[in-house]
Amino acid sequence: MTVRIGVITWPGSLDDRDAQRAVRLAGAEPVALWHGSHDLDGVDALVLPGGFSYGDYLRSGAIAALSPIMTEVKDAAANGLPVLGICNGFQMLVEAHLLPGGLIRNDHQHFVRRDQKLTVENSDTAWTNQFKTGQEIVIPLKNGEGGYIASEETLDRLEGEGLVAFRYAGLNPNGSLRDIAGITNEAGNVVGLMPHPEHATEPGFGPDTSAAMRSGTDGLGFFTSAISAIVRVAA
């Protein structure tokens, strides 16, 4: 089967084309979707990409979370469709209450851009099944409002139920509580994270590794995971 993964574009999206390319490199068909539409075009999964939707007015992702297409995103997620929110997309997911918590200004008050080490905490989701729990990966990070926050009760629940998907390793770049870089919902089909896997999918364009400069492709595992999950359900 040909897996079709939709990538939604909002005014201010910056990484939608990169996400489409990552989908293609993983072996699926990217489908461009528009925030003002109510049509998901029958896709098998969705990516909410990074950027600065609506100029980050009010709060990052707050206006985008009210876009027409988010009605369909919520319904599809509730029915098990794999949904990945990257950076601004993660902010949209928490603003739409598809994931708990919130994201605030980095604790050092500066935009940060770096190749970031992550520890995979949950390898049982639709977007992480090609990794191993405890595996360390490196993908780019770029954000100004990436500090993950939640109540102590919510944080304890995330930890206790295994809903922390990724944790910052080496250093915490933005002051996220408990070093949380990404989380998943209980069903494992919705995942959000601040770092950008779509920027680490092609040799020559990813993070530096011991093998060669810009050779890192750890981000490809997110998209091959989704393909694997979709094919497994369809079989």
Active site residues: 87, 196, 198
Both structure tokens of 37: 């539409």
CB neighbours of 87 closer than 8 A, spacing ≥ 6? 15, 49, 50, 51, 142, 143, 146, 193, 194, 195, 196
Phi, psi of 71 (to 5 degrees): -60, -45
CA distance 20 to 26: 10
CA distance 37 to 66: 12
Helices 16-26 + 220-234 axis angle, to 10: 60
